[in-house]
Chain A
């Protein structure tokens, strides 16, 4: 329970929180410039500044974290709480999806499911990829606990490759469906489908980026093992969420027209 406070003097200031915070301002401004002001130049400019600030901020932050102070092990608990919040975020979209699925069951099956149903074989493949990546990240975590830096790097890289493969295949699937006329604005199935899978894919992307940051800083990972544990926990959550997402978006969604 009780934990000795360990923040030494150099923790008093850090330049990296400010650029990350400001990056969100510029990214929002870019969205506003695009959507409501219709100023494409400002949108691109602001978006570029935002992304640059974000990248610099995160790189500097990670570097500072890995090179200063020692591992306090608190980050893991932080991620656990964050995952609770994530569950609620997914919950909101599930709520919309299920409400429509129940109240409009008739039209849903008659009109909304795309011709020929959903590609369930592809779902099986995607599931397999993600589950394998859950195994590889577990191996990565295991390696770093054992002090095996080479294994850590290799398994991290494997996880990233699998995560990226998932994203590419998924994007291909979206394009395919979209061209069939099943779009995000078709009806609540389209909306629910693309939002559930899209939000999930964005989590996969964030997970892969986390792993990239870990890989870049892996040289200093031996005395800071908490981030690897936290990223692994997060990744398991993303993989588990996929079960519900895929089960809902594909199976519940297209049930009646398999």
Chain B
């Protein structure tokens, strides 16, 4: 093949971006869209916190509060916690397996454009009269009620997102299974890729359940079908079952790749292979499979029979085991490793710490005796903000910093990176830890108002302050990343000295990634740091 002139994607014109099928550009497009929606969702969260600062209604009507909460929930889950993996996965998968692109590059572009179309639809719901106010869960019979807002928007947005996720998941699973370069066996594959593979399999099996649920909602609303109408033989619980059959596994769609990033960064910055690597792989698949067997723990108060609640309580507690294995393995990897406390490493350690708190509060939530008392309280909200809001977001931000030199070819400022993280950690813990307490004291979730109990007022004030500190930290972290694309010093190709394949090519990667498909030698491994040293000595 004739030598392709080297042209990093930054200089690409608009047409090249619009029509691109390059996985790296598509990954960046996912990332930017995801971040924009992360900011919108974050702003709506600040609005919510402002309203809760004092009892009574100060800034918003109840309807506006419902809309803000729905926007926050839907955008954070689908545009941030799920879609951000479209960014990391697209960018990293072909690089890590030594491929030039994904299996179906055009389908990959279509996945992005479906996601984009869903994004535009989501923005249209901000038009007056189109506000969705049914929360991210959209439970009937409430969602079929006029006050809940247009079901058509809710359902079609989820359909489009689902089509996008499904196309992307199929594409990336096939890529992963069939396009690995010679020498990259499943055993040697990066742990992120194992997690990402499991995530995509969950998507393939789970997304259709949610699609089915919202299709029924759409049909009930506009074609007067009977799915959720008990007077004609329907059952609203059907919706809850289908919804959680996907929406519990989706928390692993969100967190498994985050675990993957954590594994990559812990290994690199301890200069050690992850402790118990095989058990890590089994834990990933264990979580993925068990994840489909716990959904009733979201329905302990929905009137399901006792024996089912007990059964699902056991499976829920059981899923703590593979989760615990992963945490122990990360900690053991640090032991005797030569640890470097770079910004991404600090993000990673913070993510593990926050996950620990979130995970440990998940276990009691899995016990009906406790959950019935705190279900739909701020305790649950704090639980998922530790695991999702914090552990996931910290891992993602860690990943932003870690692959920053790879993607941009420049280095961010370590100092500002660390300052941002410290502020985030202070703000988030102030905010979410107190949320546990006010939740235990009985504060229900999804209410715009609360009784003026002096202790509650104080707790809410502090939470709101925490939320604004957190937002400030996020602002610093993002400002550092954005400004450094211009101001940062040029980065080396492999600043962290990792033998993982994406670091063995120039930064940013050339358009076709690899001029020749690499043949990885027997002694290479993405975590074999001695191999890399030997290569340096040879050179």
Contact = CB atoms under 8 A, between A and B. Distances in A.
Size class of the B contact interface (CB-based, 8 Å): 35 or more
A2 B110 contact: no
B212 A89 contact: yes
A237 interface: no
Interface string A74-107: 1101100110111011011101100110011001
A242 B496 CA distance: 56
A112 B233 contact: yes
A187 B233 contact: yes
A195 to B, nearest CB: 7
Interface in A16-39: 16-18, 20-22, 24-25, 28-29, 31-32, 35-36
Given A3-B178, A18-B19, A92-B208, 9 more contacts: A11-B101, A17-B21, A21-B114, A61-B106, A77-B174, A78-B170, A78-B171, A96-B235, A100-B234
Contact of A12 (B20, B163, B173): B20
B504 interface: no
A75 to B, nearest CB: 7
Contact of A21 (B16, B113, B150, B204): B113
Interface in A22-74: 22, 24-25, 28-29, 31-32, 35-36, 61, 64-65, 72, 74
A81 B232 contact: no
A70 B335 CA distance: 50
B226 A190 contact: yes
A145 B103 CA distance: 23
B233 A189 contact: yes
Contacts of A64: 106
A5 B101 contact: yes
A88 B209 contact: yes
Give me the 4 closest cross-chain CB pairs, A-B, nearest first. Answer: A21-B113, A92-B212, A188-B233, A17-B109
Q: How large is the interface on A (under 10, 10 to 19, 20 to 34, 35 or more residues)?
A: 35 or more
Contacts of A93: 212
B213 A92 contact: yes
A148 B480 CA distance: 62
11 contacts: A13-B16, A13-B20, A74-B104, A77-B178, A85-B205, A92-B212, A96-B234, A184-B219, A186-B226, A191-B225, A191-B227
Contact of A22 (B113, B180, B204): B113
A188 B226 CA distance: 5
B174 A78 contact: yes
A170 to B, nearest CB: 18
A32 to B, nearest CB: 5
Given A5-B100, A17-B109, A18-B19, A36 B130 contact: yes
Interface in B169-186: 169-171, 173-174, 177-184
Interface in B186-222: 204-209, 211-213, 215-216, 219, 221-222
B160 interface: yes
A130 B303 CA distance: 43
A74 B179 CA distance: 10
Interface in B3-49: 4, 15-16, 18-22
A12 B224 contact: no
